[in-house]
Structure 1
Amino acid sequence: MSSKFVSMVYEALDNPAVNGAAVVALLESLGAPAENVSVTSTSVNYEPPEDTTQICDFIKVVIKGKTGKKSGGSSPTMGIIGRLGAQQAQPDRMGIVSDADGSIVALASAMKLLDMSAKGARLEGDVIITTHIATHVSITPHDPVDFMGMPVSSTTMNEYEVDDDMDAILSVDTSKGNSIIKKRGIALSATAKEGYILRVAPDLVSLMELATGNPAVTFPVTTQDITPYDNGIYHFNSIMQPHVATTAPVVGLAITAKSVVPGCDTGASYESELVDATVFSVEVAKQFTWSKIAFYDEAEYQKLLDLYGSMAVLQGGGAANK
């Protein structure tokens, strides 16, 4: 079960000395064949206003499929991004914070898929999983609860975490610090693609219900949420930010709560939700790379383009900044 990998990742990230090298070592311990996988860590310095002497490590896991593009095939590539500010907020907090949830799910999904690969169970297409490791960030005021700071800008995160080979992206992020979603569990967003907010993908709804045994839950996404994070407009959180850096369809997978829970607090990561999100993410990767599910209706999207034209301006700085 994925609960084992969730626990392993949680304990690794709860170490005050955790860094990219430690995470790479954990992932490589699964023993997946080197010719089928690549696990790398890239270090960059924090950017202002954070402490520029600190280091942020970006993790990328590439798991080659039997008929994936990296092996000369044509099966689609699944992208899973663990979105967050940081796993810890030293020195103001002791231990792992709720904000780490997205990275826990991404890395636990990677561990499950690496374990499958080590046992000979390879997916059809490639899977690319990315996230980052950071432990020293500020806590910034935000309504209704304070937000974790970010070690680098959202633009820099997208540079390292959004890969051009991703044909669809599941962006996983804790989304408990709001007064909109009032249910403990996991929730899906509508699909965002090149400035359009499309319908909630029926295939993903079905998979979520299979993975959790409960009715699927969705959460609202607005035009503001799919615009760049630094444009001065209100954003629900950063879960949809990969959208601004890709032509691939992006769906947010939110870890939610009944009460308003700050991302900067410890003791607020809930195992059952993390396991559900991991199981769901792995199933999406299986089915998408097998071409058995879709994130959006291509014909309907093309009709929107024919009727109303491109909305890709929403992915950039806006007409006023041209």
Structure 2
Amino acid sequence: MALQQTLVIHEALDSPHANGAVVSELFAPYAEAGVSVQVTTVHNAPPENTANTTDFITIVIPGSAGKRGGGKAPTLGVIGRNGAIGARPELVGLVSDADGPIGCLAVALKLAQMKARGDHVPGDVIVTTHLSTDVSMVPHDPVPFMGMPVSSDTMNDYQVLPEMDAILSIDASKGNSIVKHRGFAISPTAMQGYILRVAPDLVATMESTTGCPAVTFPISLQDITPYHNGLYHFNSIMQPHVATRAPVVGVAVTAQSVVSGSATSANHEIDIAEAVRFCVEVSKRFGAGKCQFFNAAEWETIRAVYPDLSVFQTAGKR
């Protein structure tokens, strides 16, 4: 179960005072189990109020055979993408865009509790996100999105780490007319400028953890290019792709209706918990070598006969 952890994180973040210190205190009991929390505070960038700050959070849950301990099990990154968790003072309370931080921190809490009890996943799991409680809203079709306290590049600097061998990017993805499903959906794998097939192992994991047929959402080449390059993006869920050579899969928390990222009272705990349970199970299987984000043989064939597409991870020619 992951609902209890989701509720704990939701309540911890549902405050104008939510910050990295609150998260650090929440995870303090698991330090003896080897769980570490790092918080970096930065000032917001224009056009946001530069007097306000954003906390970047990195939580590491060491695996039983993880690389940080000298082992060889692969490292999974779980990133909670968002613009901000609040739009104060204009709006009161958590906004829909907080799904990403809630989800990834609930993943970290569940894994930390498991580790403290003696259940160790094989590989290290690195969870990253940021918390910002007072950011403006920006126009987007079909509904407004939350603004960003800092640039997407800055977010990637803190959230996409070289140790991550594969990445799950959790993001609220309810402000669209493309995927109309209450729960969560997964994207095809994006890697080094390519959009690959939806990973069968992730489909199987989703079906076993939800008890329902897997739901996927389409992404375009535009979606895996850098934000703010003038092109339309589904949202920022695939932005970690531009900062890594590792495979990236989006875990989109979705809805049947179109819900703005700035909507309050729109964090559906059951849906987030389903995404959390999926990510926790992926961490078990991926670290054990039983869940692949892409087919290595197919990738070798692609790279042998088709060109390098990493230009799509850059701003391109201007």
Tell me the TM-score range normalised by the shorter chain.
Answer: over 0.9
- Structure 2 counterpart of 1:27: 27
Question: CA offsets, 1:155-210, max 9 Å, x none?
Answer: 00000000100000000001000011111111010000000000000000000011
1:4 aligns with 2:26: no
Q: 1:172 aligned to 160, 170, 173, which one?
A: 170
Q: How many percent identity over aligned positions?
A: 56
Q: 1:114 aligned to 112, 115, 123, which one?
A: 112
Letter in 1 for 2:113: D
1:223-242 map, 5 Å: 223-242=221-240
1:66 aligns with 2:64: yes
CA contact (8 A) 1:32 1:118 kept: no
Question: CA offsets, 1:272-306, max 9 Å, x none?
Answer: 10110010010001110111110000111111111
Q: 1:132 aligned to 126, 130, 133, which one?
A: 130
- Structure 2 counterpart of 1:84: 82
Letter in 2 for 1:33: E
TM-score using structure 1 length: 0.97
Query: 1-side partners of 2:231 and 2:14: how far apart?
Result: 33
Query: 2-side partners of 1:265 and 1:13: how far apart?
Result: 16
- Unaligned ranges ≥5, structure 2: none
Letter in 1 for 2:297: A
- Structure 1 counterpart of 2:305: 307
Runs of 4+ more than 3 Å apart: none
Q: Which range is displaced more, 268-277 or 240-249? A: 268-277
Query: 1-side partners of 2:70 and 2:264: how far apart?
Result: 45
Q: 1:100 Cα deviation (Å)? A: 0.1
Query: 1-side partners of 2:12 and 2:64: how far apart?
Result: 30
Q: 1:66 Cα deviation (Å)? A: 1.4
Question: CA offsets, 1:203-244, max 9 Å, x none?
Answer: 000000111111000000000000000211110000000000
Query: 2-side partners of 1:293 and 1:92: how far apart?
Result: 43
Query: 1-side partners of 2:200 and 2:160: how far apart?
Result: 24
Q: 1:24 Cα deviation (Å)? A: 1.1
- Structure 1 counterpart of 2:242: 244
- Structure 1 counterpart of 2:15: 15
SS at match of 1:305: helix
Query: 2-side partners of 1:71 and 1:292: how far apart?
Result: 21
Question: CA offsets, 1:121-147, max 9 Å, x none?
Answer: 111111000000100101111110001
Query: 2-side partners of 1:275 and 1:62: how far apart?
Result: 20
**Paired positions, count:** 318
Query: 1-side partners of 2:179 and 2:131: how far apart?
Result: 27
Query: 2-side partners of 1:51 and 1:302: how far apart?
Result: 47
- Structure 2 counterpart of 1:41: 39
TM-score using structure 2 length: 0.99
Question: CA offsets, 1:233-281, max 9 Å, x none?
Answer: 1100000000000000000000101110001010111111011001001
CA contact (8 A) 1:13 1:96 kept: yes
